[in-house]
A and B are shown apart, each in its own frame.
Chain A
Amino acid sequence: MTDTPVIDTRQLVVRYSDKLAIDHLDLRLEPGSVHAIVGANGAGKSTLFRVLLGFQKPSLGSASILGCDSQSLSPADRGRIGFVNEEHTLPPWMAVRDVLHMQRRHYARWNQAAYDEVSGHYNIVPKQKVGQLSRGERAGLNLALALAQSPELLILDEPTLGLDVVAKRAFLESMLYSQERENCTVVYCSHQMDEVERVADNLVIMERGALRHVSPPEEFCARVACWIAEMPFRGPDPALIPGLLRTHRIDGLHHYLVFDQGDSFAAFLREHGARSIERMPVGLDSAINGFLSRHHAMPKAA
């Protein structure tokens, strides 16, 4: 495996009529890790994957995947990239064994053991039609097929959406097991922060098509803090609070979720009349939630 970024976008722009789906995106993801891409709905994640796989032409900029121009991927290049989407799109009229047979013939580096290992977590009968599988079974089958391709890069676009907890756990275990064994790069897109926290080596946050943050998840969490202060009155004007992500009041205590604020923030709160101050660590879910809620769409009346 080389050091060439598995994904490299330069000033990538995708525009749908008057809406920017991808906004001047410069993203480079290194090989050999699990990269989690998170963002609110409409952040441009799925569009990014379509561009990367050559299914959509960018309005501006460039995108490459595994060192190849996304717009001119050869069949051999595609064989190196696995993709699983949230809908687990497989032909519902085909029997599982026929799908398996077809995939096995198409992929030269087919790993039957990997398929058996992953699919073994699910109660999939070979002669069953894909359309007769439950959503979880279809997800498992889809992942098993993708992992058995022995891809250098595996892109998973919200693969656990709608899965029950057991199926989800089996899915993630399968993915992590295969990733470690094959040393493939995984790009994992999800709204489930517990999953992201569990699998991700690197966290990519996108918002409204733009890149907002890239770092390991723990580094990101370390930069987000929740300050709890007892204020006699209303507290400072939110517009003046540095790095504020979110604020709310619980039982008379002001909770300030802030980004990149050190101990100086305590002084700021005292200046504004805080009688007691406490800094609390923040989990990934709350940190990302607060980070994304700053610019999240809201009803005009809100």
Chain B
Amino acid sequence: MHDFFRAELARFRLPALLVALVHLLVLGFLSRLTDLAQASLIIYRLIAIAYAALGVLLGAYQMGTYRRPSTWLALLHRPLPPWRIAGGLFGAGGVVLLVAVSLPVLGMLGWQSTMTARLVESRHAWFPLAAWLIAACGYFVGAYGMLANRRHAASGLVFLLLLLTARADGAANIVVQLLALGWLAAMVAVSFRPDRLDGPRGPVSTVLLALPLQMATYVVAWMALSLGMQMAWMAAGTSPTNGGAADGGVVKAQQATPRSLMSAGLQASTLPQAKAWRDGLTEDGVIAMGMPYADNPVRGQLSNIVPLQWADTHTDTLWTFSHDHMRMVGRGLADDHGARGELGVGLSQAPFPTIAVPHDPPAGIASKYTIFIAGDTVYRHVADENAAEPWLRLPNGETVQGAPSVEGSRVLLQGSRALYVFDRADALVRAAWPQAPMARIPVPGSVADLGRVDVTTVDDGLLVSFAFTGGGLFYPVSRHQDLVLVDAHGGVTNVATRTLAYDFPAWYRYADWWLSPAMDWLDRVAKHLFEPTPPLGMSEVLPPPAGSVALAILLCVLAAVLAGWRVQRLDIGSRTRAAWIIACAAIGLPALASLWLLYPAAEREKAAVALRPSIA
């Protein structure tokens, strides 16, 4: 193993050093444009894609040089078990990635930490490891692509897709990356054998190779169906998302102006005042609060899902929220160097209870002051004292899930379970801080499904529209618009409930489910592995309709029948045949596709009936 390790290391040392140098230069250039340690999630995703692509290239190139039959034979035909040879080759590949990917990241963090006043904290220590893990996953994807039979060589890509969509944060995300790496390494290990093109041997190998392949075929089938139908509808001019949305549907509700949505809701009301309210609506009189924040930053999170920096131009300070200190840490805005101290809660500069997200001041009140949203409280920056003061606070342990909005004499704040109303005049009196809400309006449904909230003032109070259009057009949840009236005393009265029509047929909305309920479940489990509890709770997912259930059952039965026919033509044992039929019955078409792709065509039968040429 050591010999192969050293030989491969010697082979790739120069390219590794060159890539490391280029990588360092690119990071250095980018760091002059932005603070990479505080970059947004999309930037991190792009960088992660680049690392994964680099890994794929290395794996594909390295194994590509060995995959020719004669080279493969020369590599493996020796008195060493294949795993030791693989250990040497892939160990060297891992070290190459360490040099090319992790060391420049580490160098950049070191430079930023020691040579600048930019914030580098303990969560950033995961960066070199995360970068290496992502690149190593790509490396094994590339290696597997070269080693495996080309019929299923691309299936490892599902793990890169998983890394892009995984919802785990911080160290938990590292665990997800480790799991993906472990599975990919196992896939490569079972394929690293003399007859690498043969089907899997043994139940463990079969599961290792079949499950990602099933997920890959499931994803491809779903995307082909989804995109294909969208394209067809667009071509026919009937696509709901491309100008063909019907009235009373979810798309129209999403696209409507605040006034027209409020008006549509009032039209469904039976209250006698509804017509007058409706007639009195103006475009400027209805304000949109948008949809609640679906996610809140979590302490130790590797990436920033929202910006955690804000600039105080009066004091020439760029403040960055520190996960380590749980306070804002300042540095010179102009020179990027001089330290400006810390900013916490109150005169004592106490730490914030949760991650504080800086936000522009709301229009119409305290418009000069930056606010911070953290947990159940909205804080206001008090410039004279260089401190954050609790300003608006929600009761009942609810978290703030939106920026404050001003509507007439009220300040509105979206909580994790209700909309809260504060008195605008009191909000200006510092002695009353932190201010408690004067009214609570429970959200009439799951906040996780809430797409938009619109409010307007009418003679009788405050009219609030909750439109449950969130979570994506195909998300299987109840779609409706609810209007409530909040009177001067905080009393809440239901005004109207309007059911919103689905824009797409049920078979299309549930395509990801009926294609394979098992894969749909696995997809959700994998994406949400180690995910922290979502602040808005869970969606109220509706069960699939009877038609989709029947279709799912039909496809599973069909898959089992076809599997029964197929396994008779394969060179596998009776137990394996039975297991495949059961798997196809449980998983459906993706399992059948994997059966087809994993095992080469049945040569035994053909060979047995082949005619032998006669000897003259």
Q: Is B542 an interface residue (CB 8 A)?
A: no
Q: How far is the CB of A267 from chain B (nearest CB, A)?
A: 21
- CB–CB A106/B80 < 8 A: yes
A15 x B613 contact (CB < 8 A): no
Of the residues A24, A76, A94, contact of B7 by C-beta under 8 Å: A94
Known interface pairs A56-B195, A57-B195, A59-B607; A294-B616 also in contact (CB < 8 Å): yes
Given the complex of chains A and B, what is the CA–CA distance between A206 and B184 in angstroms?
42
Task: Pick from B67-75, B119-127, B257-265, B466-474 the stretch touching chain A.
Answer: B67-75
* A8 interface residue (CB < 8 Å to B): no
With a cutoff of 8 Å between Cβ atoms, the chain A residues found around residue B78 in the complex are: 75, 78-79, 106-107
**0/1 string, B1-45, CB within 8 A of A gives 1:** 001101100110000000000000000000000000000000000
Tell me the nearest residue of chain B to A101, going by C-beta: B3
Q: Is there an interface contact between B7 and A91, defined as CB atoms closer than 8 Å?
A: yes
Chain A residues with CB below 8 A from B616, complex form: 294-295
* Measured CA separation A201–B527 after assembly (Å): 66
Given contacts A53-B73, A54-B195, contact A106 B79 (CB under 8 A): yes
Which of B69, B74, B610 is in CB contact (< 8 Å) with A50?
B69
* Closest-CB distance, A82 to chain B (whole angstroms): 9
Q: Let me know if B612 is at the binding interface, CB within 8 A.
A: yes
Contacts of A90 in B (CB 8 A): 74
| A87 at interface by CB-CB < 8 Å | yes
Q: Would B615 and A212 count as touching, CB distance under 8 A?
A: yes
Determine which of B11, B73, B79, B612 lies in contact with A24 in the assembled complex, contact meaning CB atoms within 8 Å.
B612
Knowing A94-B7, A106-B78 touch, does A89 contact B610 (C-beta < 8 A)?
Answer: no
Answer whether A102 and B3 are a contact pair too, CB < 8 Å, given A55-B73, A89-B71.
yes
Check A105 against B74 for contact (C-beta < 8 Å). no
Indicate if the CB atoms of A60 and B77 lie closer than 8 Å: no
Residues A13 and B607 in contact, CB atoms below 8 Å apart: yes
Q: Is B608's beta carbon under 8 Å from chain A?
A: yes
B237 close to chain A: CB less than 8 A: no
Bound: A17/B601 CA distance, A: 8
B598 to chain A, nearest CB (A): 14
B194 close to A55 (CB less than 8 A): yes
Q: Which residues of B contact A75 (CB under 8 A)?
A: 78-81
Whether B77 and A81, one on each chain, are in contact in the complex, defined by CB atoms closer than 8 angstroms, is yes
Q: Mark A20-49, 1 if CB is under 8 A from B, else 0.
A: 100110000000000000000000000000
B283 at the interface (CB under 8 A from A): no
Additional A-B contact list (17), CB under 8 Å, known A75-B80, A107-B78:
A15-B603, A15-B607, A20-B607, A55-B195, A78-B79, A85-B74, A89-B70, A89-B74, A94-B7, A98-B6, A102-B4, A106-B80, A107-B79, A208-B613, A210-B612, A294-B616, A295-B616
Can you list 28 A-B pairs, Cβ within 8 angstroms, ordered by A?
A: A13-B607, A13-B608, A20-B607, A20-B610, A23-B612, A24-B612, A50-B73, A53-B77, A53-B194, A55-B76, A73-B194, A75-B78, A76-B79, A83-B73, A83-B77, A85-B70, A85-B74, A87-B71, A89-B68, A89-B71, A89-B73, A90-B74, A91-B11, A93-B11, A98-B6, A101-B3, A106-B78, A107-B79
B positions within 8 Å CB-CB of A: 3-4, 6-7, 10-11, 68-74, 76-81, 194-195, 198, 601, 603-604, 606-608, 610, 612-613, 615-616
